[in-house]
Amino acid sequence: MSNNKQQHKPENLYNQFSNTGPLTHAQRVAIANTTSNNKQRPPLGLMPHSVFLLRRLEEIFEAIERYYQANMQIPIEWITEYNLLIEMYKNNLGNNEQQ
């Protein structure tokens, strides 16, 4: 086995990096992304739609709550989008349960 391939083995990378102290995030990612047969991992895809909807619902809810606490008028667009996303989320859950 060539010296270059040995350097890319996870255990060799770990030993190389760990001699300099605690591993950094980048070093841990480099080790995790390296496999024994050096297969390239696919690029990161999209988050599931239901997760996206939940996050957006949380953002809107938190914004509404902040405005409410500050005794400010809540923009009607926020309420409309919140209600729309609630319906979309309900429909998305229903579609996932049928599959």
More confident residue, 61 or 1: 61
Q: Is the pLDDT of residue 25 over 60?
A: yes
Least confident of 1-5, 27-31, 63-67, 89-93: 1-5
Residues 8-16, mean pLDDT to the nearest whole number: 55
**23-44 b/e with 16+ CB inside 10 Å = b?**
eeeebeebbeebeeeeeeeeee
Per-residue pLDDT of 30-76, as tens digits, reads 777 665 456 788 888 998 888 888 899 999 999 999 999 999 999 99
Q: Note the pLDDT of residue 50.
A: 81
Burial of 80: CB neighbours in 10 Å, binned 0-12, 13-18, 19+: exposed
